[in-house]
Amino acid sequence: MTSVATSQEDHGHHGPAKGLMRWVLTTNHKDIGTMYLWFSFTMLLIGGTMALIIRAELFEPGMQLIEPEFFNQMTTMHGLIMVFGAIMPAFVGLANWLVPMMVGAPDMALPRMNNLSFWILPFAFGMLLLTLFSEAGAPNFGWTFYAPLSTTYAPSSVTFFIFGVHLMGISSIMGAINIIATILNLRAPGMTLMKMPLFVWTWLITAYLLIAVMPVLAGVVTMMLMDIHFGTSFFNAAGGGDPVLFQHVFWFFGHPEVYIMILPAFGIVSQIIPTFARKPLFGYASMVYATSSIAFLSFIVWAHHMFTVGLPLATELFFMYATMLIAIPTGVKVFNWVSTMFRGSMTFETPMLFAVAFVVLFTIGGFSGLMLAIAPADFQYHDTYFVVAHFHYVLVPGALFAIIAGVYYWLPKWCGNYYNESLGKWHFWMSFIGVNVTFFPMHFIGLAGMPRRIPDYALQFADFNAVASVGAFIFGLSQLLFLYIVINAIRNGKQATAEVWENPEGLEWTLPSPAPYHSFSQPPEVK
Amino acid sequence: MQTRQHIARTTAKHAAVAVMMFGFGFAMVPLYDIFCEVTGLNGKIQESVVQTPMEVDTSRNIKVQLVSANNAQMPWRFMALQNEVELHPGQWKQVGFWVSNVTETDMVSQSVPSITPARAAQYVQKSECFCFQQQALKAGESKQMNLVFTISPDLPDDIHTVSMVYTLFDATAFADPQQVVTAAN
């Protein structure tokens, strides 16, 4: 802890630079974390607007508002923006803010690279979003961009999409390496691996998943680029390639990606529940091992996305059983959260409400995942709204609720002020009702056979679609309330104490609120 | 100073892993082909076998359905001369496909085979197939393309029907001068 600590001390006495250039040139983990979070919130609103366009079109059968081609662009862009622009950067933002404070480090290990990994993102997504205004239109092949839809039949804007994915991939890999380097090298003395807060643990594992699979994603889009522009045939059967190969390579990335979007959420919830149950986390070590097992299993289950492409029986069985195996470590985690709450002195402040909702609703998403894992049944569910219901249950009341819970939980530490608790509760209940009204009926229309990614549908699906659309608008608009609550807390919230909550655990609560611009220039002592 | 060195080492190591994984993505391409070849999955039989007389299992008849299909962008006419043939396992059979370039340009084609049920694929052996090479036709030309194959007597008893589908792709853009078989010969 010598050079990094001392170099920070040199300018430790002054605060952030003034003006706009502070944000462009900053290498401070707190500034960069803040920018990541605002960026991801902006993307959430853009991607959410696209979702509302989709739901408005699906409010009743028939074509009302938009052309089918534009509908396809909306489903594609909604998926890409939410996955790569909203959820992932939000987690990186939280990691930037919290990992150094939680392990007692003065900053991230590679502060300049940190600046670069953030500033790549606005350009990546700017490029992706600008395709909407091009003559060819935005990418329209679904966020999974299966070849040959994304190669032979793609709009010419696909090249911008490919470079966009390259950029965000580079950003994620640099972010992941930075987090690993911070956790492995900058922990305060006494902070052994098995003393690290679970948020740090889950992020360490997530970072390893990122450096393992983001390059594979970069590889698969590079293959597309070569097929489109350089006459190769990775995915073109005419030249000896195979479109099914695309799906194998894509899902080899895609399945670990799913866990990249949920493991940090597990970490956040594991921080919040003990605070409001006023009991230490039940089964800390088993949480660490369960998270590692989930990460390992995520590499050997990818073909469960491809049960219907014509896999042989043995392969279907292998991927079916391997997928079901994931339910075990996940069950361990849910058990531990419930046991942490069991006989605790629980209070239900906004972060806790979101965390408890996470546990319940993520479990519903987990169960529908288990149903989809059954290969013979998947032939019925494949590409229906049941799949849409499943992954929205794990990503919206799963990942997104955890992020929101985390923002409420740490916001007083970040800005020094409490948010308005009763508005927070309003936000929670509107989100909770909205999310369930939106996505629960999708299970029914999916089981009844409504395919996903279509702008029009048969009459028998009309009622549930109307209900889902109403829910979507409730959910979407309630996020504007969230924006108001956060701004209100920053501007004129009540001054927060250093501890913020009642005896929360973790080094970040030993710092004053708001956390000083430079923290832990001298490493804290960890018992 | 030590911390800085550790950070540099950690960064270099993990950057190397990322580069390796980029390579692994590309390595999945040949691995995929090897996997399909070893397991006979995907009905991708690209290897010609020498026609050897096998013990013919006269106790059963296998119905072989021959299906021709055109890829979306392939304007040629393409059809199997017989829709269905029967053979005993181990018996060699020759069948023909008729193909006609109805366009006004010279083109090169590539057929891609697929066998159903998939687990029958590993028992199908071909000594001659138009799918082994690209096939070229001048504008307006037609020809018959042959397939000589057998089904090994080891074929599981419960399989009575095997479908062999050939999909014709426009491979003009990928024409390989050493592989192209023209109508002239």
Could A180 and B15 be called an inter-chain contact, meaning their C-beta atoms sit closer than 8 Å?
no
pLDDT > 60? residue A8: no
Catalytic residue among A30, A333, A413, A427: A333
Buried b (16+ CB within 10 A) or exposed e, A364-402: bbbebbeebbbbeebeebbebbbbbbbbbbbbbbbbbbb
| Integer Cα distance of A124 and A167 in angstroms | 6
Q: What is the pLDDT of residue A6?
A: 42
Residue type, B86: E
Q: What is the pLDDT of residue B1?
A: 54
B38 and chain A: CB distance < 8 Å anywhere?
no
Spatial contact of A267 and A202, defined as CB atoms under 8 Å apart: yes
* Orientation angle between helical segments A462-492 and A421-447, nearest 10 degrees: 160
Out of A2, A185, A216, the one facing B25 most closely (by C-beta) is: A216
A222 catalytic residue (yes or no):
no
Superfamily for domain range B42-182: Ctag/Cox11 (2.60.370.10)
| Integer Cα distance of A141 and A365 in angstroms | 25
Pair (A270, A378) in one structural domain:
yes
Q: What is the pLDDT of residue A312?
A: 81
B161 and chain A: CB distance < 8 Å anywhere?
no
Instruction: Count the neighbouring beta carbons within 10 Å of the beta carbon of residue A67.
Output: 12
Spatial contact of B96 and B83, defined as CB atoms under 8 Å apart: no
Pair (A327, A191) in one structural domain:
no
For the ranges A3-12, A335-344, B150-159, the one whose mean pLDDT is highest: A335-344
Q: Domain boundary residue among A221, A243, A261?
A: A261
A173 domain residue, yes or no: yes
Q: What is the pLDDT of residues A401-447, one digit of tens each?
A: 999 999 999 999 999 999 999 999 999 999 999 999 999 999 999 99
Pair (A321, A172) in one structural domain:
no
Catalytic residue among A40, A117, A172, A202: A172
Q: Average pLDDT over chain A, rounded to whole?
A: 94
Out of A238, A248, A253, the one facing B170 most closely (by C-beta) is: A238
Spatial contact of A187 and A104, defined as CB atoms under 8 Å apart: yes
Is the preceding peptide bond at A514 cis, omega within 30 degrees of 0?
A: yes
Count of domains forming chain A = 2
Pair (A269, A251) in one structural domain:
no
Pair (A189, A44) in one structural domain:
yes
Q: Which residue has the higher pLDDT, A527 or A223?
A: A223
Could A312 and B14 be called an inter-chain contact, meaning their C-beta atoms sit closer than 8 Å?
no
For residue A7, what pLDDT band results from cuts at 50, 70 and 90?
very low
Query: What is the average pLDDT across A290-313?
Result: 94
A171 catalytic residue (yes or no):
yes
A100 domain residue, yes or no: yes
Residue pairs spanning A and B at CB distance below 8 A: 114
Task: State both tokens at B109.
Answer: 């084609």
Contacts of A170 in chain B (CB under 8 A): none
Q: What is the pLDDT of residue B183?
A: 62
Q: State ipTM.
A: 0.88
pLDDT > 50? residue A5: no
DSSP-assigned letter for residue A399: I
A397 domain residue, yes or no: yes
Task: State both tokens at A324.
Answer: 């079901």
Pair (A340, A312) in one structural domain:
yes
Pair (A346, A210) in one structural domain:
no
A14 domain residue, yes or no: no
By CB atoms closer than 10 A (0-12, 13-18, 19+), residue B104 is exposed
Q: What is the pLDDT of residues A261-273, one digit of tens each?
A: 999 999 999 999 9
Query: What is the average pLDDT across A373-402?
Result: 96
Q: What is the pLDDT of residue A20?
A: 87
Q: One digit per residue, pLDDT tens: chain B, 185 residues?
A: 588 899 999 999 999 999 999 999 999 999 988 887 776 665 555 567 777 777 888 889 999 999 999 988 899 999 999 999 999 999 999 999 999 999 999 999 999 888 888 778 888 888 889 988 889 999 999 999 999 999 999 999 999 999 999 999 998 888 877 777 776 54
Q: What is the pLDDT of residue A14?
A: 62
Q: What is the pLDDT of residue B174?
A: 83
A101 domain residue, yes or no: yes
By CB atoms closer than 10 A (0-12, 13-18, 19+), residue A258 is buried
Nearest CA-CA partner of A485 in A400, A422, A441, A527? A422
Comparing A34-48, A385-399, B77-91, the range with the smallest average pLDDT is B77-91
A107 catalytic residue (yes or no):
yes
| Best A166, A184, A187, A302 residue to mutate vs chain B (most B CBs within 10 Å) | A184
pLDDT > 90? residue A380: yes
A526 domain residue, yes or no: no
Dihedral of alpha carbons A258, A261, A267, A270, sign: negative
Which range marks the domain in which residue A40 is found?
Answer: 1-6+27-261
A240 domain residue, yes or no: yes
pLDDT > 80? residue A10: no
Q: What is the pLDDT of residues A208-217, one digit of tens each?
A: 999 999 999 9
pLDDT > 60? residue A65: yes
pLDDT > 70? residue A45: yes
Pair (A293, A279) in one structural domain:
yes
Q: Domain boundary residue among A201, A228, A261?
A: A261
By CB atoms closer than 10 A (0-12, 13-18, 19+), residue B157 is exposed
Pair (A300, A333) in one structural domain:
yes
Task: State both tokens at B73.
Answer: 């962008």
A333 catalytic residue (yes or no):
yes
Q: Domain boundary residue among A216, A232, A261?
A: A261
| Integer Cα distance of A460 and A285 in angstroms | 50
Catalytic residue among A29, A30, A187, A255: A255
Percent composition of chain B: helix, strand, coil (DSSP 3-state, to 5): 30, 35, 35
Pair (A168, A203) in one structural domain:
yes
Nearest CA-CA partner of A125 in A175, A88, A161? A161
Nearest CA-CA partner of A470 in A5, A52, A45? A52
Pair (A230, A349) in one structural domain:
no
Q: What is the CATH number of the domain that holds A88?
A: 1.20.210.10
A363 catalytic residue (yes or no):
no
Contacts of B108 in chain A (CB under 8 A): none
A527 domain residue, yes or no: no
Q: What is the pLDDT of residue B32?
A: 86
pLDDT > 80? residue A149: yes
pLDDT > 50? residue A185: yes
Pair (A252, A279) in one structural domain:
no
Could B21 and A211 be called an inter-chain contact, meaning their C-beta atoms sit closer than 8 Å?
yes
B41 and chain A: CB distance < 8 Å anywhere?
yes
Q: Which residue has the higher pLDDT, B120 or A69?
A: A69
Contacts of B21 in chain A (CB under 8 A): 211-216
Q: Which residue has the higher pLDDT, B174 or A126?
A: A126
Could B3 and A186 be called an inter-chain contact, meaning their C-beta atoms sit closer than 8 Å?
yes
| Best B1, B5, B6, B11 residue to mutate vs chain A (most A CBs within 10 Å) | B11
